[in-house]
Amino acid sequence: MKIDKNTLNMLSALPDDSLWKMICAIGSQSGIDLSGVQVKPEDISKLRSAMGNLTDEDISRALQILESTKKQGK
C-alpha cells in the first residue's frame, strides 16, 4: 500500500476498529507485529489527530525510518 497524505486521510475516516486493523496490516507488511498492543479509544483518537497533521515530508521521513529498520533486521 502506498502511504501518502491521501491514504492517511482515507484511513483516518475509518471507524476505530477498522483503522486499527489497517494499522496492524500495514505494520505487518513492514515487519512490525502490533498484535500484542492494546489500544484505547483515546489512543485511536490521538493517532487519528496526529495522522491529520502529518505533512508529505513527515510521511516520507517515517517511511525512510521504517525502511532502515527493516534493513537492520536482516
What's the pLDDT score for residue 55?
A: 92
Report pLDDT digits (tens) over 25-61.
Answer: 988 887 889 989 999 999 999 999 999 999 999 999 9
What's the pLDDT score for residue 3?
A: 85
Secondary structure of 52-67 in the HEC alphabet? HHCCHHHHHHHHHHHH
pTM: 0.77
Strands, E assignment, 1-74: none
Residue with cell 476498529: 17
Distance CA 23, CA 37 (A): 11
Mean pLDDT score of the chain, rounded to an integer?
A: 88
pLDDT over 70 (residue 73): no
